[in-house]
Every structure is written in structure tokens, then in C-alpha cells.
Amino acid sequence: MMKKTLTFLALILLVGQMAFAQQRPMFTKYMFNSLIFNPAYAGSKGHMSVGLLHRTQWHEIEGAPITQTLTAHTPLRNDRVAVGFSLTNDVIGPTNTVGANIIYAYIIPFGEKIKLSIGMQAGLENYKADWTELNLEDELDPVYQMPVSRFLPNFGAGFYLSNDKFYVGGSAPQLVEYDLRPEAVTQIYAREVRHYYFTAGVAIPINGDGIIFKPSILMKNVGLDKRASKIAAFRDIGAPNEIDIDISFLFQQTLWLGASFRTSYAKIQDGRSSHDSADIWFSYLLKNGMRFGGAYDYPVTELSNVTSGAFEIMVGYEFNFQEKRVVTPRYF
């Protein structure tokens, strides 16, 4: 049964069957590694920030996604320019994608508190697929005879508008689309497509700085511009809009507790929503700037019959060169 599940997931997620899905890695603690999908986030904390995150999805299922990210960013001395980089390692079944980006952001102040950041990034991905790891019904299928290894250069852009109480952002981290198997001898093939992200959040003091309530939202879209595709077969194909709704409380500028719900809306005949998971997470910030945290996702789909969910762990460090220790963290 497990091997059949792996084969099914691999065929749906990797081959594509001329259908798009959310191809970029998903994260429950997206607010702590926003640089992965929005280059304009660089420098937003006002000091250097480094973060490392690991996610294991559907951990009982062999071949399920495993992802690691490393991000670092900092404003420069003039406070108008920020730089950063991101690294991603994403493994799904027989495929492995490793990507790196260098990031530049220009920050425009509006008044004393509001800032608009325009970000750009350039990077390179290496996509590999070893089909010998699959349990194939037909081992002579020509689609799976040749391993894949491709280097895919790309670039992206985004914006980030914020002050100390709210933020709004939008981005497209990979603007160039690629066929992942251009040499395939079939019309059924995999294609890396453009993703769009929209984020927003507010910080609401409840008890001064003692308790901060922070609701936020992340929306992801695939195929927003699909009708402009040069490939006719892809113009009517897309993925449901994915929505992450998150609420959290920050206690005494130290302990952050949150819960979120991930769902999507698909324009299908009966108009139903497709719910994905209910999530809980925490983050703890030490006075020396060290941060650690974790998250757990419980699937609310039929996947709950074969897996207990997904988990993430995160460590990071907030450098503050103006003070000897970090006293008040940024809320975003």
C-alpha cells in the first residue's frame, strides 16, 4: 500500500498530467522565512537576521516532501538599500531541487514610519529526478528511462509596505517558466510555472507591549496569467488559490503562540472549498537574539488516514548592532 501511495504521489506531483499544482514549498511559519517568496522583505527588521527552517510533510509517507531553507538579510548603512540571500533544498520522491538567490531591495520612506520596499532577486536552481527510485508498474515506460538534471536560472520581484503595526506585500519569486522534461517523448510532461504571493498582517496591542495580537494572511496563486501562455494546452489549466489564515499572540516580547488554517478555493461545479490542514506553532526569542520554534500541521483531508501530519522546526538569530541585546522584536 505504501509503495502504491508513493507511486501515485510521484505521478501526480512530479509528472504533472498536464495539470498545475502549488509547486513551490509551503511553510506554516512563513512569517519567519518570508524572504523565500518575497525579495522585498530584505532589511525589513532594521538589522541583520538569519534563519534556518526544516519542514517534513506527511512524514509517514515514503517519498513525501522534505524541505530546508536558509535565509539571511540586512539593511546597509544608508538604510535605503538592503541585501540578502536564500537557499532552498526541496526533496519530493525521486526529485531534488536545490536553489540559491541573491537579493537586493530598495527602501522608500513615506513619513517617519511607513516604508515601501521594492525587491529583486536573481538565482539558479538545479532540478534532478532519478526515476529508478519509483516503483513503476511498467518499468519499460519510455517516460521514465532517462534521469533528469537541469540548471534553471531565474529572477523574481516583489514589494513590501510596512510600519511597526501592519504590513502588505506581493511577489512573484520566479518569473521564468520552464519545461522540466523537454526531451520527453510524450505530451504529458512537467512544467515549472509562475507563482504569485500576497501577504498582509497587523499587530494589535492588547495589554500595552505585554500582549500583542497579530492576525495575518498568506495567499498563493498559480496560473493568474495562464491565458497569456505561449502554450495553448496550458491556458485553461491552473491550481486553486491557496489561503493561509493565521492568528497569534506575542507574550512579553518573548513567547509567540499561533494557530492557522490552510485551505483553497477551487471553482468547481459544486463550489466547494478544499481544506488542507489545521496548524499550531510557537516561537521563543531569547534576550541575546537567538530564536527557536516549531509547528505542527494536522491534515483535514483523506491524507489523515495514512499520515498524522507535518512538522517544522526553526532556529534563527536577530543581530542588533545598535544595542547590546535585542529588547523589542519586530512583529513582522
Q: What is the DSSP letter of 133?
A: G
Strand partners, 115: 109, 162
pLDDT value of residue 1: 40
pLDDT along the chain (332 residues), means of 10: 42 38 73 91 92 90 88 90 95 89 95 92 90 70 72 95 93 86 57 87 89 93 66 61 91 93 67 76 91 92 82 90 53 70
Count helices and strands in the chain by DSSP H and E runs: 1, 17
CA distance 42 to 34: 9
CB atoms within 10 A of CB 206: 11
Contact 162, 141 (CB under 8 A): no
In angstroms, the CA 171 to CA 157 distance is: 6
* Confidence (pLDDT) at 253: 86
Give the pLDDT score at 242: 86
pLDDT in tens, 211-268: 999 999 999 988 666 655 565 555 566 567 788 999 999 998 899 999 999 887 655 4
Contacts of 239 (CB under 8 A, 6+ apart): 20, 21, 22, 221, 222, 223, 264
| pLDDT given at position 15 | 38
Predicted pLDDT of residue 3: 43
Q: What does the pLDDT read at residue 178?
A: 79
CA 327 to chain centre: 29
Alpha helices, DSSP H only, in 200-242? none
C-alpha cell at 290: 537567538
**E strands, 175-289, in order:** 178-179, 191-192, 195-202, 204-205, 211-222, 239-251, 255-265, 273-285
Name the DSSP letter for residue 60. Answer: T
Contact 247, 259 (CB under 8 A): yes
Q: Hey, what domains does the chain have and what are their CATH numbers?
A: 2-318 (2.40.160.40)
Q: What is the pLDDT of residue 238?
A: 59
